Amino acid sequence: MPALRAHAVRWVSDDPVPGWVEVEFVDADGVRRVLSDKPSIFGADIRPDSPYPVEVLVACEVLDPADEDGRVFITTDRPWGTSTAEGRTEFVVLEDQLVCG
């Protein structure tokens, strides 16, 4: 499954257990996007006292392959339902921001 490279930037809360972390990435248009979810889904050992920022991976699904400019349309809705505070789950990112695995 592909994953988007991002950075955990802060611990948000200990509630609900196991806590909540804020993750950021910059989309293909240079807009900073912020996702929040449980730390375990980001593929890194993240704790409240971690030295932020922490490199993480956001699992995603490619909806449209890269165009001639290397822009890829993805969703973070699958597999974990990760979204922005506004509920956004679809983004255009650059191909080199993705890790295929």
Give residue-wise pLDDT tens across range 10-43.
999 988 778 999 999 999 999 999 999 999 999 8
Position 58 scores a pLDDT of 97
Q: Does residue 39 sit in helix, strand or coil?
A: helix
- Give the domain extent around 8: 3-99
| Centroid of chain to Cα 99 | 12
Per the structure, the count of domains in the chain is 1
What is the spatial distance between Cα 30 and Cα 73, in angstroms, rounded to a whole number? 15
Task: Give the residue among 2, 40, 1, 3 at the shortest CA–CA distance from 21.
Answer: 40
Phi/psi at 41 (5° precision) = -80, -10
Gap between the Cα atoms of 99 and 94, Å rounded: 11
- Provide the pLDDT for residue 76: 97
